[in-house]
Amino acid sequence: MSRSKVEICGVDTSKLPVLKNEEMRKLFQAMQQGEHSARETLVNGNLRLVLSVIQRFNNRGEFVDDLFQVGCIGLMKAIDNFDLSQNVKFSTYAVPMIIGEIRRYLRDNNPIRVSRSLRDIAYKALQVRDALTTQKSSEPTIYEISEVLNVPKEDVVFALDAIQDPVSLFEPIYHDGGDPIYVMDQISDDKNKDIHWVEEIALKQALNRLNDREKMILSMRFYDGKTQMEVAEEIGISQAQVSRLEKAAIQQMHKYIKT
């Protein structure tokens, strides 16, 4: 079975080499000792990393070749600035730099331009926010910022929103001992807190204590959204019986969860 050949900037991506960590360490040491060929080998050996990053930007309508070239600039900056003494994988260090280079390119080439006056308001608002945060040791409100600038708060909100770039949930924002911390790690999710997880387990255990008919009735009522009359017709009993069985099953589950 032959490999499909995909060329980007004249590079056959199916033949891109992959360097092992030990190989890369030796190449960085050689490069820092002045061996120019080591840098070239590092660049070629990490082009797959650039390729993986630019896939995140496929929906931007940009030419893949352009993104690849910009990503390579970020890769070379990462190679030139990488510190071997830090306990960080090169890929962990390089990915944010490649992403940053691509984001700058996309921002500078964005056909939707933010007006100069709007940018001025946004940058002044950021300066005021920093100053008030230092003074009060707490984050100021939009209303407080708008009062200092003497600008309507709606304009402040609009200006700040206009200069913000969309950020992926998988964007690395911090590296703790070599392991990246992503945006999604900093976002609270009330639906997935431990207490809800424990409650869900308790409900499943309580449900398992019911007989098959009680399980069927609760499933049809609360998962399928059927009325008591519809349930009664389907399983061949009266609506009053369905009501009694339903209440008894809920009470039994409630007692089990409380114990």
Strand pairing class (172-176; 11-12): unpaired
- Here the tokens at position 259 are 């114990």
pLDDT at residue 201 in the model = 61
| Amino acid symbol at 176 | D
CATH numeric code, 7-108? 1.20.120.1810
| Amino acid symbol at 48 | R
- Answer yes or no: pTM beyond 0.85: no
Give 208's contacts (C-beta < 8 A, 6+ positions apart): none
| Amino acid symbol at 162 | A
Question: What is 116-188's CATH number, 3.20.20.80, 1.10.10.10, 3.40.50.970, 1.10.357.10?
Answer: 1.10.10.10
pLDDT at residue 115 in the model = 64
pLDDT at residue 100 in the model = 85
The full set of domain ranges for the chain reads 7-108, 116-188, 192-258
Q: Please, what CATH class does the domain formed by 192-258 belong to?
A: mainly alpha
pLDDT at residue 165 in the model = 56
Give the chain's residues under pLDDT 70: 1-14, 59-61, 108-116, 162-202, 256-259
Same topology between domain 7-108 and domain 192-258: no
